Amino acid sequence: MSRSKAYVASVGLTPIGDHWGKSILDLAVDAASGALKGLGKERPDQIIVGNMFSAVGARQEHLGSMLASALGMAGTTAYKVEAACSSGGSAFNVGYNLVRSGAIDSALVVGVEKMRDIEPDEVSAALAMAESAEYTQFVGATFAALNGLLARYYMEQLNVTRDELSSIPVIDHTNAVTAAHAQFRKAITSDVVSRSAMIADPLRLFDCAPVGDGAAAALIVNDNAIPGSRRKLVEVLGGKIATNDFSLYERTDMLDFKASKDAFKGAMTQAGLAPGKLSFVEVHDAFSVVGALSLEAMGFSKRGEGSRDAKAGKYGRDGDLPINTFGGLKARGHPVGATGMYQIAESYLQLTDQAGKNQVEGAKYSATQNIGGVDSTSAVNVFGRGA
Amino acid sequence: MSRSKAYVASVGLTPIGDHWGKSILDLAVDAASGALKGLGKERPDQIIVGNMFSAVGARQEHLGSMLASALGMAGTTAYKVEAACSSGGSAFNVGYNLVRSGAIDSALVVGVEKMRDIEPDEVSAALAMAESAEYTQFVGATFAALNGLLARYYMEQLNVTRDELSSIPVIDHTNAVTAAHAQFRKAITSDVVSRSAMIADPLRLFDCAPVGDGAAAALIVNDNAIPGSRRKLVEVLGGKIATNDFSLYERTDMLDFKASKDAFKGAMTQAGLAPGKLSFVEVHDAFSVVGALSLEAMGFSKRGEGSRDAKAGKYGRDGDLPINTFGGLKARGHPVGATGMYQIAESYLQLTDQAGKNQVEGAKYSATQNIGGVDSTSAVNVFGRGA
């Protein structure tokens, strides 16, 4: 097939946190409006919303048409893409494939989630919808519980220490201090993580991403829909959504994040890029252990060494491969269906030198990795500076 | 751009009704297994699930990965597409665009909904998530209420009689008698409709589509993924998702189904087909008035004459343009996120001469029209016999 190149022309995002005064639609409009500034024509060909649980969080479905109308773009093709916490990265991948293949010339992709309107003790139940209602939810296994089991197994099988596990949250919090849109802009030490309140043994409060509201958006264009200036284009070099055996209990090796492995390999192959070329990576660390296993699945660390490498400085801002440059899921925040789009918006800011105090100097290539469930789905997208 | 042709190679569907013994996943697997029989290789490139409210109906999200895994296809790209009651037709359109553009070579699209597990008095509330939580749901306007208002306005403004309005449900029930998968296989007269229990004045019980469980699926392939035999291929000639001003109260003319008008026009233009060439049309008649307004929006009837034309026999099985050949939403049934895929599966059966007693003799071209909300979204897909 003949393929056009695809670019991110502009992005928009809201701060993450408690948006009591805004509806889920308000948040989506805010992020979309920012991303539409790069549009070279009246409206995008499609509007794609990434969202996990607006039905439970806002008693609202049909966000696609609703957003199109709210943006004054009634008529435009619009729909929602859902893949649990990987809804954002997956929605982007759908838009990217449609634009790159020339099926359409432009797509506005908006990730949005309103979590704080759910009663606090219902959030875990809402998130648990990413796992089987009949098998996993049924026995009361929340995601904190599942990842607690995973962390215990990881630490025992591969001799990972509590102190090592605390290293990725420390990186996140360090990077978030200067990130205007981050939920928690406060640096912490690994002691703070290791001694924080127990949530699901061995996972503690600071091992776990917080609950928050937010929306992030990107405008994808091909050469037929390039805006006026090519100066601020970031090329989308590759992308892939992959899945794993759905539930943890179905897997022969719980520590093998096969979806992330396959998605990363597929996206990098499409990009024609060696992993060593990446300037930074946005990693889906919903829990510290998930961050470590993700780094191992993508091949940046050897098995069992994701946290250890983090502790040794490899993934810090001055390390070999900076991760989570605005704070990652732990400190920037994790409004689930929006998270993948935050990773992409942050990549765009980095690759156009608009990352301010969080700038990775000379950043040229990046990858974003966005997981649904415990690696039941993984969406990886790869970006490159300039056009 | 260079485009491949896209075909439906096979379909699968479950009967519609009360599936107390099956989960939403069971239903999706049943329909998918049927559709996968036409696959010429090990697995499709993507699995796309169309579904509206599994979060509320089954406390389940993440159906894409879950289905891939249940089919023994873990690894495969999978996600859900949602656009309220047009989720099925919209999911198909996404798959079609990806296959036709060559981004991928094959897609399994599965529409599924489990409505009967919701408490009966909660179904209207679940459906109402297709409308604005803050404005429309807030005032208690269910879809029966909204369409009741619309029907009253339609009848009064355009001098439509009760008897005329009853004509489309009569066609549906007549056609469903011989449809094995239909929910209500019983013929009725217009008197039965006109004298049935009042639901939302002037709409009566038989003006309204029923509540039921079901799943339908189709396998889309391009020339790179044609199965062994080309004998049972149906070509997808065109498709478009369009939107309207989101809520009824925002529209300058409530009787103008602009989304359906635009989607139909766009899909037929892409197909290069004059409307007069269509052998039959599957119309989204969630309520009798919606069926009439849809026929008018697509230009088959003049304004105000959709029901009148139905009464005059135009849309019956022996009429100029048969509609809802297996019973439409009223009698085949309307498991919301699955409905669009039932329409497509039925088109496939017709265009491959597998429609049994419901066969439209010599059927060559068809269109399916699938609405979300009150025409807030409309997905139209167009099909042609043979390869």
Give me the amino acid identity at A191: D
The answer to whether residues A310 and A319 touch, using CB atoms and an 8 Å cutoff, is no
Quick check: A1 pLDDT over 70?
A: no
Of A56, A60, A243, the CB nearest to B74: A243
| Lowest-pLDDT range of A91-105, A112-126, A316-330 | A112-126
Q: What residues are paired with A242 via a beta bridge?
A: A378
Share of chain B above pLDDT 90, in %: 94
In this predicted structure, which of A67-76, A356-365, B36-45, B156-165 has the lowest mean pLDDT?
A: B36-45
- pLDDT higher than threshold 60 for residue A114: yes
Q: How close is the nearest chain A Cα to the Cα of B66, in Å? A: 6
| Nearest-angstrom CA–CA distance, B127 and B270 | 32
Q: Is B85 annotated in the active site?
A: yes
Q: Inter-chain contact A377–B23, Cβ cutoff 8 Å?
A: no
Distance of residue B76 Cα from the nearest chain A Cα, in angstroms: 6
Question: Which single residue is written with the structure tokens 């690994």?
Answer: A190
Are A82 and B82 an interchain contact pair (Cβ–Cβ within 8 Å)? yes
pLDDT band at B382 (very low <50, low <70, confident <90, very high): very high
- Active-site residue, from B173, B181, B284, B334: B334
Give B132's contacts in chain A (Cβ within 8 Å): 25, 60, 66
pLDDT for residue B26 is more than 70: yes
What is the C-alpha separation between B54 and A215, in angstroms, rounded? 23
**A261: nearest CA partner in chain B:** B75
Radius of gyration of chain B measured on its C-alpha atoms: 19
- How high is the mean pLDDT of chain A? 96
For A33-45, the pLDDT digits (tens) are: 999 987 877 899 9
State mean pLDDT over A128-153: 96
Model pLDDT for residues A291-312, shown as the tens digit of each residue: 999 999 999 999 999 999 999 9
Q: Which of A224-233, A325-334, A360-369, B92-101 has the lowest mean pLDDT?
A: A224-233
Would you say A169 and A311 are in contact if contact means Cβ atoms under 8 Å apart?
no
Across the interface, whether the CB atoms of A62 and B241 are under 8 A apart is answered: no
CA angle B301, B305, B311 (to 5 degrees): 100
Q: What is the pLDDT of residue A116?
A: 95
Contact (CB<8Å) B132/A60: yes
pLDDT mean over A16-35:
97
Task: Choose the weakest-confidence range: A200-204, B117-121, B356-360.
Answer: B117-121
**What's the rounded Cα separation, in Å, for the pair A77 and B288?**
26
Q: In the predicted model, is pLDDT for residue B266 greater than 60?
A: yes
Give yes or no for residue B19 having a pLDDT over 70: yes
CA distance linking residue B225 with residue A288, whole number of Å: 42
Picking from A271, A257, A280, the residue whose alpha carbon sits closest to that of residue A376 is A257
pLDDT at B2 over 60: no
Q: Does residue B124 surpass a pLDDT of 50?
A: yes
Scan for tokens 């100097």, then name that residue: A361
Residue B36 amino acid letter: L
**If residue A372 lies in a helix (H) or strand (E), which one and from where to where?**
strand A365-372
Q: Check residue B40 and give its pLDDT.
A: 72
Overall average pLDDT of the A226-231 stretch? 75
Q: Which of A19, A85, A181, A208 is catalytic?
A: A85
For A81, the closest of B4, B56, B80 (CB atoms) is: B80
Q: Give the pLDDT band of residue B387 (cuts 50, 70, 90).
A: low
pLDDT at residue number A4: 83
Distance CA B55, CA A61 (A): 10
Residues in A touching B241 (Cβ below 8 Å): 77-79
| Helix then strand then coil, % of chain B, to nearest 5 | 40, 20, 40
AA identity, residue B327: G
Please give, rounded to a whole number of angstroms, the shortest distance from the CA of A370 to a CA of chain B.
13
Which one of B243, B256, B265, B381 makes the best mutation probe of the A interface by having the most chain A beta carbons within 10 Å? B243
Taking an 8 Å cut-off on Cβ atoms, the answer to whether B132 and A66 are in contact is yes
Task: Give the distance, in angstroms, between the CA of residue B18 and the centroid of all CA atoms in the same chain.
Answer: 19
pLDDT band at B3 (very low <50, low <70, confident <90, very high): low
Alpha carbon distance A231, A39 (integer Å): 13
Contact B203, B151 (CB under 8 A): yes
Residue B85: phi and psi, rounded to 5, are -70, -10
A316 CB-near residues (< 8 Å, 6+ apart): A171, A174, A310, A322
CA distance B66 to B361: 40
Name the pLDDT band for B38 (thresholds 50, 70, 90): confident
Cβ separation B79–A101 shorter than 8 A: no
Catalytic residue among B19, B85, B181, B208: B85
Nearest to B90 by CA among A47, A340, A378, A239: A47
* The pLDDT of residue B186 is above 70: yes
CB atoms within 10 A of CB A387: 14
Told to judge if A85 belongs to the known catalytic residues of this protein, a careful annotator would answer: yes
Q: How many C-beta atoms surround the C-beta of residue A162 within 10 A?
A: 16
- Region A56-66 average pLDDT: 96
Is pLDDT at B1 greater than 50 in this prediction?
no
Is this prediction's pTM over 0.90? yes
The complex scores an ipTM of 0.98
Give residue B156's pLDDT band: very low, low, confident or very high (50, 70, 90). Answer: very high
Q: What percent of chain A has pLDDT over 70?
A: 99
Cα separation of A255 and A247, whole Å? 13
